[in-house]
Structure 1
Amino acid sequence: MRNPSSHNIRGIVFLLVIAALCAIASREFLSARKDEPLYPSSTLKTTKRLSDYFAGIRNTRADTPVYIFEGREPGGTMLVLGGTHPNEVAGFLTTYLLVENVSVSRGRLLVIPRANHSAFTTTEPGEAQPAQFEIKTAGGMRAFRCGGRFTNPLDQWPDPEVYLHFPSGQQLSGAETRNMNRAYPGRASGDFTERAANAITALVRAEKVDLVIDLHESSPEYPVINAIVAHERAMDMAALANLSLQSEGLNFALEPSPQNFHGLTHRELGDA
């Protein structure tokens, strides 16, 4: 007859091993909630929170820093968004470079490097996407997180079968309800992603932003690639920007923002 105490010891050891493995795995998951440090340039005037413009996202993962740079001379106000889709690395890395290196002499520059802050805390299932990547810099090796295209389901769930955009009523697949670039202009009483989009729309209005640039990256098979998509009110400026790129050997297409495709920054913030 077996000693009952031996069963207890094996059970306790088994539970301790499982607890240790869970603790090791949880460190990686919890690290995704910690933002990498950024080191703003000398023309930084102040740093605000997105919740300063809409209190409905305060104390949630939708809240995120807003870096405000100001030149000595008066001028226009530009907002640059990165991290609308945190799996598009070039988009948010560009805003990191802006925050750390920009020199503003005239007007104001507002930068939100992590527009969909929640999406930085998740990844793309089934895409073999690395959790992070490293870049060697003059100051040493720096690690950056890869995020997901959609808001973390821990912050917004479940997805509806059909996503109805507010206020147009446009119908999209259910998962698009967590796509920030389908949620604009947002709404104060909406779901998590809509409230985050509403906060950015409120910022645009409160700060009297003249120009918004939303930075993205696309996979090779995507139909709109190497392109500037512009609202009709910004088409002249977009054309000048495109000519400037072409003069440096960078060939981009200039695409008009579709008037009947709602929820995107270039349509809804242009209409705001």
Structure 2
Amino acid sequence: MKIFKIFKLLLRKNFFKVISIVFILILVFICLPQIALPQTTSVEYICAGTDYETPAYIIQTNYKKPAILIIAGTHGNELAGIRATQYLKDNIKIERGTLIIIPRANILACDKNVRNFPSDVNLNRVYPGKSEGNEVERLAYKIFDLAKRYDIDLLVDLHESIEFYKNNSQNYGQTLVIDSNDDYLFNLSSSIVEEMNKGIFDNNNKYQVLVKPIEGSAAYSAYYQLNIPAFTFETCRKLPLAFRIQEHIRLVKIILFRWNMIAVEEINNHK
């Protein structure tokens, strides 16, 4: 009985201290999801042990979702996306989610600075690939296997074209290509294009949404087989390389911001 009275006395004397601690703990619990968590970067090798072995950089926080896959180097002579992703893998700071970056998807084509290697097989026409197919089909299969394992929510494939789409509709320079006119995908891509066009005053350099289903492409297969939104981003190689690299970086950052993976300050942090 005496012990109980002592306990009550102590509790009374420390009441406000206890209340303060409880209040602080509640605030921490409420605000924790908004606190940026440290990111970690690991490397997985696609087609490990083969001539097509290429690194995929896995940037993660404790919050694994959303998960976004960025592919560049599908065509080895489309340099802007390659250079942009090489920069991003070392410099991007995400606050939540998982960002997977493949800077040189067809590493042999990149090493040789050619569109395709071998020249008669286009990586962007063989997705989702085949586990027992030719080397490029196996490469596509492994890339999609990685996408499935991380349960990605969005795929972005970075490309370049030799001509502006406005000048020649056989080329896709300055477009954001989607593989369906599905309302959600079209509205999403339209809003991204609108954001990208801010500050671009030359109409030739402005982007537009292009609905152009390309069977066998990474974006097409992601949309129709993984059932996730996907884009193919195309800059025109007639523009200066430095500008194109910055545009690829800007596109990726706009997308990451829309998926609540980076802070607004990070968008312009690429000088």
- When normalised by structure 2's length, the TM-score is 0.60
- State yes or no: 1:46 paired with 2:1: no
Match of 1:182 in 2: 125
2:94 to 104, 120, 135: 104
- Secondary structure of the residue aligned to 2:97 is strand
Following superposition of structure 1 onto structure 2, how do residues 54-133 of structure 1 map, counting pairs within 5 Å?
57-122=47-112
- State yes or no: 1:248 paired with 2:238: no
Which consecutive residues of structure 1, in runs of 5 or more, have no partner in the other structure?
A: 1-41, 51-56, 123-146, 154-174
The amino acid of 1:95's aligned partner reads T
Structure 1 stretches of 4+ moved >6 Å: none
Match of 1:237 in 2: 188
Deviation at 1:73, TM superposition (A): 4.3
Task: For 1:199 and 1:60, locate their aligned partners in 2 and report how far apart those are by CA, in whole Å.
Answer: 12
Q: Is the 8 A contact 2:76 2:111 kept in 1?
A: no
C-alpha RMSD of the superposition? 1.9
Indicate how the Cα distance of structure 1 residues 72 and 59 shifts in structure 2: closer, same or farther if over 3 A, else same. Answer: closer
Deviation at 1:44, TM superposition (A): 3.8
Larger radius of gyration: 2
The amino acid of 1:252's aligned partner reads Y
Deviation at 1:205, TM superposition (A): 1.0
How many residue pairs were aligned?
176
Deviation at 1:201, TM superposition (A): 1.1
Describe the superposition over 1:47-105 as per-residue Cα deviations: whole angstroms up to 9, x where unpaired: 1112xxxxxx3311222111011235453000000100110111211111111211101
Which consecutive residues of structure 2, in runs of 5 or more, have no partner in the other structure?
A: 1-37, 226-271
Task: For 2:212 and 2:39, locate their aligned partners in 1 and report how far apart those are by CA, in whole Å.
Answer: 33
Deviation at 1:106, TM superposition (A): 1.5
Q: Is the 8 A contact 2:67 2:153 kept in 1?
A: yes
- Secondary structure of the residue aligned to 1:105 is coil
Range moving further from structure 2, 249-258 or 94-103: 249-258
Describe the superposition over 1:200-230 as per-residue Cα deviations: whole angstroms up to 9, x where unpaired: 1111111101111110111126532100012
- When normalised by structure 1's length, the TM-score is 0.60
Task: For 1:70 and 1:105, locate their aligned partners in 2 and report how far apart those are by CA, in whole Å.
Answer: 9
Percent identity between matched residues is: 27
Describe the superposition over 1:117-165 as per-residue Cα deviations: whole angstroms up to 9, x where unpaired: 121232xxxxxxxxxxxxxxxxxxxxxxxx1111146xxxxxxxxxxxx
Deviation at 1:236, TM superposition (A): 2.9
Q: Is the 8 A contact 2:162 2:171 kept in 1?
A: no
Task: For 1:242 and 1:99, locate their aligned partners in 2 and report how far apart those are by CA, in whole Å.
Answer: 23
- Secondary structure of the residue aligned to 1:241 is helix
Describe the superposition over 1:203-261 as per-residue Cα deviations: whole angstroms up to 9, x where unpaired: 11111011111101111265321000123363332122112112232621101132xx4
The amino acid of 2:133's aligned partner reads G
Match of 2:258 in 1: none
The amino acid of 1:181's aligned partner reads N
- State yes or no: 1:224 paired with 2:163: no
Deviation at 1:185, TM superposition (A): 0.9
Match of 2:268 in 1: none
Indicate how the Cα distance of structure 1 residues 265 and 71 shifts in structure 2: closer, same or farther if over 3 A, else same. Answer: same
Task: For 2:61 and 2:73, locate their aligned partners in 1 and report how far apart those are by CA, in whole Å.
Answer: 25
More helix by share: 2
Task: For 2:111 and 2:196, locate their aligned partners in 1 and report how far apart those are by CA, in whole Å.
Answer: 34
- Secondary structure of the residue aligned to 1:229 is strand
Task: For 2:212 and 2:97, locate their aligned partners in 1 and report how far apart those are by CA, in whole Å.
Answer: 26
